[in-house]
Amino acid sequence: MQRVGVIGGGLMGAGIAEVSARAGHDVIVTEAGSASARAALGRLEKSLARAEAKGKLASAAVVLDRIRVTTDLDAVADRDVVIEAIVEDETAKAELFKRLDTVVTSPDAILASNTSSIPIMKLGVVTSRPQQVIGIHFFNPVPVLQLVELVPSLLTSPETTERARAWVEGPVGDGGLGKRTIDCQDRAGFVVNALLIPFILSAIRMYESGFASAEDIDRGLVLGAAHPQGPLSLADLIGLDTTKAIAESLYEEFKEPLYAPPPLLQRMVDAGLLGRKTRRGFYTYE
């Protein structure tokens, strides 16, 4: 699969586009408007320049030359794999998959979602080819973290799953991305977020109740449990809106109280305090 399409050029979409281009693939990124397309391109340029400066990349310009950013969804018609990385909203994703079903002309193309929590079945059934729809869930930051969750639905064909695995795990330079996969059942949250989000929500509830400060909660997990980052700092990195969306998806599926977003998280999202992306969440970022 040499021709890659990425729908959405935010943090995750740009990261997927970057690792695909660094692996030698021809990449097209589509965005909803010209402003967001410019922002996506700037995100890619900054990340690649940083990698080159650190000696992790021979030439940022060569990699960037493999990527085209456009506002034309029809540009992904000839792609071998198209990965959706838009907002974590089931209605928006389902509508996009309906459109991709008509836009992508290759009969063997894989239509994938980078969703963190939405069941893949709900996206596959709106297309005429649910056997070719699969979850390929990368982790942020995509160029750094090795894990990818593969999430087939009940209708995803074994061939699609194995083609996706071969692409993700294949050696860089030999058609693959050089990452590692785990297999997940098609349940909200999959493996990592089904474990991680309740943990983060518990930390938010602890902070909300006044039990401890944000700094002490995070310091406790870093120094006492050898976590590389505390749960509230991690929530800021993920994005509080994304954290809330995943929690809501988990609660909708399992109806377990531990998955329900705490009131403080709801209010922070309402206020636009989304973490690092808005420079303010549980911490303030310069």
Regarding whether 142 and 105 lie in a shared domain, the answer is yes
Q: Give me the domain span that covers residue 246.
A: 192-278
Regarding whether 240 and 133 lie in a shared domain, the answer is no
Give per-10-residue mean pLDDT for the chain (286 aa): 95 97 97 96 96 94 97 98 95 98 96 94 98 97 96 98 98 93 96 96 98 98 97 96 94 94 98 96 96
pLDDT confidence of residue 1: 84
Unique residue bearing structure tokens 């009969």:
107
Q: How far apart are CA 115 and CA 93, in angstroms?
A: 9
Q: What are phi and psi of 137, to 5 degrees?
A: -100, 110
Instruction: Find out whether 7 and 103 touch, Cβ atoms under 8 Å.
Output: no
Regarding whether 34 and 14 lie in a shared domain, the answer is yes
Evaluate whether residue 31 is within a structural domain. yes
Under DSSP, the state recorded for 88 is: S
User: What are the catalytic residues?
Assistant: 116, 137, 149, 193
CATH code, domain with 160: 3.40.50.720
Q: Count the residues in the chain.
A: 286
pLDDT confidence of residue 232: 98
pLDDT confidence of residue 108: 95
Residue finishing a domain among 164, 183, 202: 183
Residue 44: count other Cβ atoms within 10 Å of its Cβ.
24
Evaluate whether residue 285 is within a structural domain. no
CATH code, domain with 266: 1.10.1040.10
Evaluate whether residue 148 is within a structural domain. yes
pLDDT confidence of residue 175: 87
pLDDT confidence of residue 173: 83
Unique residue bearing structure tokens 């650190």:
54
Regarding whether 176 and 196 lie in a shared domain, the answer is no
Q: How far apart are CA 179 and CA 185, in angstroms?
A: 20
Does the predicted TM-score (pTM) go above 0.85? yes
Regarding whether 237 and 125 lie in a shared domain, the answer is no
Residue 12: count other Cβ atoms within 10 Å of its Cβ.
25
Residue finishing a domain among 183, 206, 225: 183
